[in-house]
């Protein structure tokens, strides 16, 4: 026998919704057995601008490598950081 689900209320804002779900059990509102995985392929992660001081020679070397790989130097820096972070997390 299927359980009758409660109706999800309308929320004025995200903070109100967050407070609601913090104090309520979602299984009373959502039938998790009939859910599907959602894929959002066009979403881009939010980024933050930071200031990073590099020596001129290091920046020139990065730009040279980026030019050889035909990628923007800032993208190359992000690739290098991502690879190193993955290595550190595996250790």
Over residues 5-23, the pLDDT tens digits come to 999 999 999 999 999 999 9
DSSP 16-41: HHHHHHHHS-GGGT--GGG------T
Say how many residues make up the chain: 91
3 lies in a domain?
no
Number of domains in the chain: 1
Q: Are 62 and 77 in contact (CB under 8 A)?
A: yes
Query: pTM here?
Result: 0.53
- What digits encode the pLDDT tens for the residues 59-71? 999 999 999 999 9
Q: Is residue 63 part of a domain?
A: yes
Q: What is the pLDDT of residues 38-48, one digit of tens each?
A: 888 888 888 88
DSSP class of residue 66 equals H
Print the domain residue range for 34: 14-90
Say if 33 falls within a structural domain. Answer: yes
Which residues touch 9 (CB under 8 Å, ≥6 apart)? 20
Are 66 and 73 in contact by the 8 Å Cβ rule? The answer is yes
């Amino acid at each position: 026998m299927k359980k009758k689900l409660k109706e999800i209320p309308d929320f004025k804002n995200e903070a109100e919704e967050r407070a609601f779900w913090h104090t309520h059990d979602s299984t009373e509102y959502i039938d998790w057995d009939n859910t599907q995985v959602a894929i959002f392929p066009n979403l881009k992660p939010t980024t933050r601008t930071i200031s990073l001081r590099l020596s001129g020679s290091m920046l020139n070397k990065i730009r040279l490598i980026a030019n050889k790989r035909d990628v923007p130097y800032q993208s190359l820096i992000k690739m290098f950081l991502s690879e190193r972070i993955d290595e550190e997390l595996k250790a």
